[in-house]
Amino acid sequence: MTVRDKHCQAPGCDRPARWCDAHHLKPWYHGGRTDLNNLILLCRRHHRAVHQRTWRLHTLGGGKFRFELHRRPPRERTDSAQRASANGRSLA
């Protein structure tokens, strides 16, 4: 894997292989195999980002991948009176 990937495979990242982790493209706990066809090198930062779902990783085949920033829906904003009421407190 280190010979194939040489460095972190995230776009623009050149962290050398010795500073990277092997990432299972199909998770091991979902039956993903630990073989070269299911592994990619990612530095700690990008490995964490994929697992925290900040980034999505898509396999394109032929050893190519696409990284996509995962955009979560915005949190609904509430004013302070609504928050206080929800917490059983009064602002008055």
d(CA 50, CA 13): 14
Segment 67-92, tens digit of pLDDT: 888 766 555 655 555 555 555 554 44
> For the whole prediction, is pTM greater than 0.85?
no
pLDDT digit string, tens, across residues 3-43: 999 999 999 999 999 999 999 988 889 998 999 988 999 99
